[in-house]
Amino acid sequence: MTSEDKISLDNLGGKKYQAVIATLKQAAQQGHPEAQYRLALLYSRKNEQLPLDYAQAAKWFQKAAEQQHAEAQSRMGWLCANGLGLKQNDEQAGKWYLKAAKQGLAKDQYLAGSMYQRGLYGVSKNLEKMLYWYQLSANQHFAPAQFILGKLLAEGTEIPQDQALAFQWLSLAAAHGSENGEALLAQLMQQAGAEQISRWKQAMMR
């Protein structure tokens, strides 16, 4: 669970905790997508006041997702992919992940790129769509997408090789904390000459 998913109820007493949950449930039942999403998050993690219940989590994630809540759509993809709270279904997982990606979630855009790269979750391999989604994610500074673009461009097996662009994406991935990006960047620079690296840096500045 990421930090954005944490609901700061740990410091509340039992009665206050239950009051917050009751308010959340009421808002969710009234159709508020953010409340539905937050309630689903509570059901999808262990806590003292509300039991872990993936069926309830799936119910409320789906209600929020159907109201175009992007994070809920992403969670629905995860539940469908892993068969938690509902029947495992790769095709449905893919549909939900793509919905979240189309709404601009960088991590789901990256996942969409992986789907089209490998033919996962009910989609066929498609290098054009793979690049489209990886680039959208990378342009949002999502380090894993920046790394994979750099790797693909450096290798030149699935797409045409372009070491200058590979240098740029790997530099960005390393700057955003990708250890894999940093390692591959070092390897690329070790293989290149100083003059070539200088040209790459100048191109990147432009």
The pLDDT tens digits for 131-165 are 999 999 999 999 999 999 999 999 999 999 999 99
Q: CATH second-level architecture of 13-103?
A: Alpha Horseshoe (1.25)
For residue 117, pLDDT beyond 80? yes
- Mean pLDDT (whole number) for 32-58: 91
Per-residue pLDDT at 191 exceeds 80: yes
**pTM attached to this predicted model:** 0.88
Burial 182-199 (b: 16+ CB within 10 A, else e): bebbeebbeebeeeeeee
Which residue from 90, 92, 82 is spatially nearest to 62, judged by alpha carbons? 92
| Tens-digit pLDDT profile for residues 92-104 | 999 999 999 999 9
User: What angle do the packed helices 70-82 and 106-118 form, to 10 degrees?
Assistant: 40
- Helix/strand/coil for 6: coil
Give residue limits of the domains in the chain.
13-103
CA angle 115, 171, 140 (to 5 degrees): 50
Largest CA distance in the chain: 68
Judge whether residue 14 has pLDDT over 90.
Answer: no
More confident residue, 15 or 130: 130
d(CA 158, CA 168): 18
